[in-house]
Amino acid sequence: MSEHGPHTTDDGRTYLFDDPKNVDRFVNGFYVVCVVLVILDFVVHRHISHRWENLWAFHALYGFGACWMLVVIAKQMRRVLMRDEDYYDGD
């Protein structure tokens, strides 16, 4: 497989997310959607298929908690599992 090297390192142009303001705009827009999604939980009558779903905004809380826990645990796993990149080389 021909795997080309990077062509140039910088072209001096400014791109969308080079401006921190645009990053902030993006993230703020994201927060707004989060708030809307939680408010919708008051408005929409959800079907309940699992008793945990009776909890207000259950899926939002679960999604947030699951991802946070996933990363925190995975990070701790590195202490046990991580080795040098060439760990298996030479075998």
Partner 1 sequence: MGIELLRHPFVIFLVGALLVAVTRGNLRKALLLLTPVIGGINILGLEAGTTVEFAFLDYTLIPLRVDRLSLLFGYLFHLAALIGNIFALHLRDEDNARVQHTAALLYAGSALGAVFAGDMITLFVFWELLALTSVFLIWARKTERSIKAGFRYLVIHVLSGVILLAGTLLRAHQVGSLEFGDIGLDGSLAGWLILLAFGIKAAFPLLHNWLTDAYPEGTATGTVFLSAFTTKVAVYALARSYAGTEILIYVGAVMTCFPIFYAVIENDLRRVLGYSMINQIGFMVCGIGIGTALAVNGAVAHAFSDVIFKGLLFMCMGSVLHMTGRMNGSDLGGLYKSMPITTVLCIVGAASISAFPLFSGFVSKSMVMAAVLQEGHVWVWPALLFASAGVFHHAGIKIPYFTFFAHDAGIRTTEPPGNMLVAMFIGAGLCITIGSRPSLLYGILPYVTDYTPYDVTHVLTQTQLLWFGALAFIGLQKTGIYPPELRSVNIDAEWTYRWMAPRLVRGIGGAVARVDSAVRGAVIGTVQRVMHSATRSHGPHGILARTWPTGSMVLWVAVLLAAYLVFYF
User: Contacts with partner 1 in 21-80 (CB under 8 A)?
Assistant: 27, 30-31, 33-34, 37-38, 40-41, 44, 46-47, 49-53, 57-68, 70-75, 77-78, 80
By rule CB under 8 A, what count of residues binds partner 1? 64
Nearest to 55 by CA among 64, 43, 46, 66: 46
> What is the identity of the amino acid at 38?
V
Complex with partner 1: residue 7 or 21, whichever CB lies closer: 7
SS3 26: helix
Q: Which residues contact partner 1 (rule: CB under 8 A)?
A: 1-11, 13, 15-18, 27, 30-31, 33-34, 37-38, 40-41, 44, 46-47, 49-53, 57-68, 70-75, 77-78, 80-89, 91
